[in-house]
Amino acid sequence: MNIFSRLLSQDLPRSRILAILLLAILIGLVITPFAFPGAKTLNVAAKILIFIVLVASYDLLIGYTGIVSFAHTMFFGIGAYGIAIASNKWGASWSSLAIGAALAVVISLLLSLLIGLLSLRVRAIFYAMITLAIASAFLTLASQLSDFTGGEDGITFKLPELLAPSSQFFSGPIFGITIDGKILTYYLVLVAALLLFLVMLRIVNSPFGRVLQAIRENDFRAEAIGYKTVIYRTLSNVLASGFATLAGCLLAIWLRYNGPDTSLSFEIMLDVLLIVVIGGMGTLYGAVIGSVLFLLAQSYLQDLMKVASEATQSVPMLSALLSPDRWLLWLGILFVLSVYYFPSGVVGKLRAAATRN
């Protein structure tokens, strides 16, 4: 128990149901290639892992520091483009991946530092609008610099031979699954996402993280007792951008492709906001629960509605209402219901219920 407590930086789930859910998610993600074979399932699982890192990094901003930014996917895109451009220019090698990731992180850190120093003195909606303008300008730039970024078509690239789908590591299947480069890539993403999540958990439970929470609750009081809030807010912005960049690197490695709509789309920013609200702000575990719920609904709700629509063919109005074409409507309804019944997010609700008991 002490080992797990230290591993989680003393930030335990504090709810038996939440602990069971988190353990089930971890086990499910580990065994996905064997228990749920199929390209779609593996792709959804990898996307969940990437979004856990991305959403947790955004929660470091909005949930722990109280900063609303619309430029978070810009750093996500910088990470993805870093890998894509480096692999395309310098070939499919581990050094290309390392250099691309390193350059992307450095660019993101410098850019976020500049944005923080110039913009974080303004508050709330004004800062949000500034970041929205910067993100929109970056998206336009990425679309127009076709010689460098591939423009609207994006960049397709190759990974080192070890991660290629054609690479096989055993003479026969293991538990019915051929262990190839794609499976190895999935477990690379899994390990990286787990490590990044644990690092972020350590940050928010450190003295630095406590100061961020104090700023979120009352930045004037935090300033009054001696903390330079602009410095802490800027550092939070820099850290969050760095983790978002690494999440973008993982996305590019998984997809072997990157384009403006893949990593810079404003729809991704909206998805991140929805996941943070669903899971619960101010708790990184909310990023895990929210990412799983949202991405499973986004990926499989349409399929479930198709089955429901076919099963209710005898009731024309109900069948039409459950048509797969209306899946976005039902996804929106589910989101509204989740906000209504879980105003503090799923994690907040579960912890509150555990405290009452």
pLDDT digits (tens, 9 = 90+) for 264-281: 998 999 999 999 999 999
Q: What is the pLDDT of residues 319-355, one digit of tens each?
A: 888 888 887 888 888 888 887 888 888 999 898 888 8
81, 142 contact by CB (below 8 A): yes
Q: CA of 342: how far to CAs of 117, 133, 353, in Å?
A: 35, 32, 11
Residue range 114-148, pLDDT digits in tens: 888 877 666 667 788 888 889 999 999 998 888 88
The C-alpha torsion from 281 through 230 and 240 to 69, rounded to 10°, is 60
Residues 6+ apart with CB under 8 A from 229: 215, 219, 222, 223
Helices (H), 162-283: 181-204, 207-217, 219-224, 229-255, 260-263, 266-279
Question: At 66, is the secondary structure helix, strand, or coil?
Answer: coil
Q: Average pLDDT, stretch 170-184?
A: 82
Tell me what the mean pLDDT of segment 176-187 comes to. 88
Sign of CA dihedral 30, 31, 36, 39: positive
Residue 156, pLDDT score: 93
Closest to 193 (Cα-Cα) out of 249, 260, 118, 139: 249
> Which of 63, 16, 59 has its CA nearest to residue 350?
16
Model-level pTM?
Answer: 0.94
Task: Count CB neighbours of 111 within 10 A.
Answer: 19
Res 357: pLDDT: 67
Least confident of 5-19, 96-110, 147-161: 5-19
Q: Which residue has the tokens 């800027």?
A: 234
Is residue 1 predicted with pLDDT exceeding 60? no
For residue 20, count CB atoms less than 10 angstroms from its CB and return exposed for 0-12, middle for 13-18, buried for 19 or more.
exposed
Mean pLDDT over the full length of the chain: 89
- The DSSP output letter for 155 is E
Question: What pLDDT does 38 receive?
Answer: 84
pLDDT tens digits, 58-105: 999 999 988 888 989 999 999 999 999 999 999 889 999 999 999 999
Q: State yes or no: pLDDT of 7 exceeds 80.
A: no
Higher model confidence: residue 171 or residue 243? Answer: 243
The percent of residues in the chain predicted with pLDDT above 90, rounded, is 48
Strands (E), 304-348: none
Quick one: CA dihedral 83, 103, 259, 54, positive or negative?
A: positive
Give residue 174's pLDDT: 79
* Residues ≥6 apart with Cβ < 8 Å to 73: 135, 244, 263, 264, 265, 266, 268, 269, 272
